[in-house]
C-alpha cells in the first residue's frame, strides 16, 4: 500500500471457519494502521505446497474487493 509493505498471516482456529486468509489479515492491518487511502499496487501470495491451498479463496476475495490487483502466486 503506497510505499509500505504490509504482510498478512494465516490464522486457523474454531473461531475462523473457514480459515482467516493472509490477505484478510493484511487488509485489516492496512486499515488499522491508517493506510486505507494508500493504493494497493501489488499482492504477492507465497504458499508452501500442501493438500489444502488458500489460493482459490484468496483469488475470490480479490475478485470481490474493488480496486485490488491480481495476485502474484508463488508456490514454495
Task: Let me know if residue 29 belongs to a domain.
Answer: yes
State whether residue 29 is helix, strand or coil: helix
Residue 14 pLDDT level (bands cut at 50, 70, 90): low
Residue 64 is assigned to a structural domain of this protein? yes
5 within domain boundaries: no
Residue 38 inside a domain? The answer is yes
Residue 39 to residue 56: CA distance in whole angstroms: 23
pLDDT tier at 3, thresholds 50, 70, 90: confident
pTM above 0.85, yes or no: no
The pLDDT value recorded for residue 73 is 96
Tens digits of residue pLDDT in 26-76 = 998 899 899 888 889 999 999 998 888 889 999 999 999 898 999 999 999
Buried b / exposed e over 19-46, threshold 16 CB at 10 Å, is ebbbbbbbbebbeeeeeeeeebeebebe
- In a domain, residue 26? The reply is yes
Q: What is the rounded distance in angstroms from the CA atom of residue 72 to the CA atom of residue 23?
A: 12
| 36, part of any domain | yes
Asked if residue 4 is part of any domain, the answer here is: no
Range of the domain at 44: 11-75
Domain count, the chain: 1
Amino acid at each position: 500500500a503506497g510505499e509500505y509493505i504490509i504482510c498478512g498471516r494465516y490464522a486457523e482456529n474454531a473461531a475462523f471457519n473457514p480459515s482467516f486468509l493472509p490477505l484478510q489479515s493484511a487488509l485489516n492491518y492496512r486499515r488499522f494502521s491508517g493506510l486505507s487511502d494508500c493504493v494497493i499496487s501489488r499482492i504477492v501470495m507465497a504458499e508452501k505446497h500442501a493438500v489444502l491451498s488458500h489460493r482459490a479463496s484468496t483469488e475470490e476475495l480479490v475478485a470481490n474487493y474493488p480496486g485490488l490487483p491480481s495476485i502474484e502466486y508463488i508456490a514454495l
